[in-house]
Chains A and B, each alone.
Chain A
């Protein structure tokens, strides 16, 4: 499903490489925590998986496709297969919860009653059915994160990436968010969660944990 081979990343404004010789293989259907301190390169690695960032050296393969050889016209098709949950949510504040979630389907040509029923289903799944018509920027942080999860889930992507999904949330809401990710995993998605919060690691039974430190990847819990 995901295969990183000797991946390195160096930024011009930093003396040390962010990632160095990183090898990682994630089989389909795995739940993986990517841990490490802030600035360890977790976000960089995650962004490489949906081609928002390219490695300085090495190769990144997702679902059999070598992302380094991807043409710009193939990029949208890859991104439709990867649901991404961002730490800062990345919602369109002026649009409703429904419209934010529907966006992921509309860009792929979704429309009509099928789209409406699927969006309603996912919005209900994340517990926001009462707020579907509310503007996204009027919601609390926890609610906005749930909208972001709903948007990532609505297209039934085989790969789900979450970057510090509980970073801005209180413990109760964080638990609820993790429950949604576990639910998505149970439905067959491969889930990668980048977090620096060790408390989250115990919440998912059987999850694999890898740690990024000083650019290198260490297996902590296979």
Chain B
């Protein structure tokens, strides 16, 4: 009959009671996973918008469209001049552009045809190439094509138009700013929601084990003996749920990352990122919500009872 003396601390008891109710664990972890995935998706969206804003503000590209009369020679000449003035450090600081490149009409058409892919046949009916000669300017890292620079380029006689990502970048910046202002409020609400969910899960676990808890009470268990395993159980469930939620958000990002092109050749994949801060934040949030929700749950369901 001899058996080894096992440890029976709160963690060990939490693991034992988790093993005793796999169904309950499934329900708890699933609901927490969904809640944390919503928080994770929201967090990822905020981070990506902020990241996208700063990525697009700097290091982007702009296209200088040449006037109808400007030919290849003028284009090359302009590219050389801009290379000299923009890619070399000036008196006021480092170079503004990383690269300046002339793109003639034919190259532009070839590129367009490539972008159209299977629909390239649409271009077959064209008698003339409608695309103009242009100069592409790739901004140096940390530099953005400001209004001054755009105005200076537009003022050049051989330039018809300067195309930048500015209009929709402004929209993105506005959205990012509004979201940033609401982020804390919404984030706090979502966090409180998770805490409440954990608390209710703990109450459900206590209800399911009420007979066992009555026995513990009758044999003289102190409230702390009963409470801590439930709090630890909530923390463990929340941690597992945070891992699953991270995987879920990561999977979602992979689906959304399917190749797509943004204006000026920007890749959508560059903008949709799943930084390590998301799972780390979810884990931290899960532990905090587990402790708070666990304490709240046991506090509500296991109030010290006097005699009846």
Contact B212 A108 (CB under 8 A): no
The digit string for B213-230, where 1 denotes a CB below 8 A from any CB of A, is 011111111100100000
Contact B8 A76 (CB under 8 A): no
A67-B307, A108-B220 given as contacts; is B215 within 8 A of A113 (CB)?
no
Chain A neighbourhood of B216, CB < 8 A: 103, 107
Question: Considering the complex, which residues of chain A in the window 97-126 have a beta carbon less than 8 Å from any beta carbon of chain B?
Answer: 98, 103-104, 106-108, 111-113, 115-116, 120, 123-124
Chain A neighbourhood of B225, CB < 8 A: 107
Chain B neighbourhood of A70, CB < 8 A: 307
Contact A106 B8 (CB under 8 A): yes
Residue of A75, A108, A124, A151 most packed against chain B (CB within 10 A): A75
Contact A76 B222 (CB under 8 A): yes
Interface residues of A, dominant DSSP: helix
Task: Please give the number of chain A residues whose Cβ is less than 8 angstroms from any Cβ of chain B in the complex.
Answer: 38
Chain A residue at minimum C-beta to C-beta distance from B222: A76
Contact A90 B214 (CB under 8 A): yes
Does B20 belong to the interface (CB within 8 Å)? yes
Contact A132 B1 (CB under 8 A): yes
Does B119 belong to the interface (CB within 8 Å)? no
Contact A72 B306 (CB under 8 A): yes
Closest chain A CB from B11 CB (angstroms) = 14
Closest chain B CB from A164 CB (angstroms) = 16
Closest chain A CB from B284 CB (angstroms) = 33
Task: Please give the number of chain B residues whose Cβ is less than 8 angstroms from any Cβ of chain A in the complex.
Answer: 24
Chain A neighbourhood of B219, CB < 8 A: 79-80, 103-104, 107, 151
Chain A neighbourhood of B307, CB < 8 A: 51-54, 67, 70
A52-B307, A104-B220 given as contacts; is B214 within 8 A of A94 (CB)?
no
Contact A112 B5 (CB under 8 A): yes
Chain A neighbourhood of B7, CB < 8 A: 111
A79-B219, A104-B220, A108-B220 given as contacts; is B5 within 8 A of A94 (CB)?
no
Does B167 belong to the interface (CB within 8 Å)? no
Contact B220 A79 (CB under 8 A): yes
Chain B neighbourhood of A132, CB < 8 A: 1, 3
Chain B neighbourhood of A92, CB < 8 A: 211-212, 215
Does A50 belong to the interface (CB within 8 Å)? yes
The digit string for A65-106, where 1 denotes a CB below 8 A from any CB of B, is 001001011011111100010000011101000100001101
Contact A80 B220 (CB under 8 A): yes
Q: How many angstroms from the CA of A205 to the CA of B222 in the assembled complex?
A: 38
Does A129 belong to the interface (CB within 8 Å)? yes
Chain A neighbourhood of B2, CB < 8 A: 116, 120
Does B308 belong to the interface (CB within 8 Å)? yes
Question: Considering the complex, which residues of chain B in the window 191-245 have a beta carbon less than 8 Å from any beta carbon of chain A?
Answer: 211-212, 214-222, 225
Question: Considering the complex, which residues of chain A in the window 154-175 have a beta carbon less than 8 Å from any beta carbon of chain B?
Answer: none
The one of A53, A94, A116 in contact with B308, judged by C-beta atoms closer than 8 angstroms, is A53
Chain A neighbourhood of B92, CB < 8 A: none
A104-B220, A107-B221 given as contacts; is B215 within 8 A of A123 (CB)?
no
Chain B residue at minimum C-beta to C-beta distance from A86: B218
Chain B neighbourhood of A94, CB < 8 A: 20
Chain A neighbourhood of B117, CB < 8 A: none
New A-B contacts (17) at CB < 8 Å, excluding given A80-B219, A104-B219, A132-B3: A51-B307, A52-B218, A52-B308, A53-B307, A53-B308, A67-B307, A72-B304, A72-B306, A90-B218, A91-B215, A92-B211, A103-B219, A107-B216, A107-B222, A112-B5, A116-B5, A129-B1
Please list the 6 inter-chain residue pairs (A to B) with the smallest Cβ-Cβ separation, ordered nearest first.
A79-B220, A80-B220, A107-B221, A54-B307, A72-B304, A76-B220
Q: Can you give 11 contacting A-B residue pairs, CB < 8 Å?
A: A72-B305, A72-B306, A79-B219, A79-B220, A94-B20, A104-B219, A107-B220, A108-B220, A111-B8, A123-B1, A132-B1
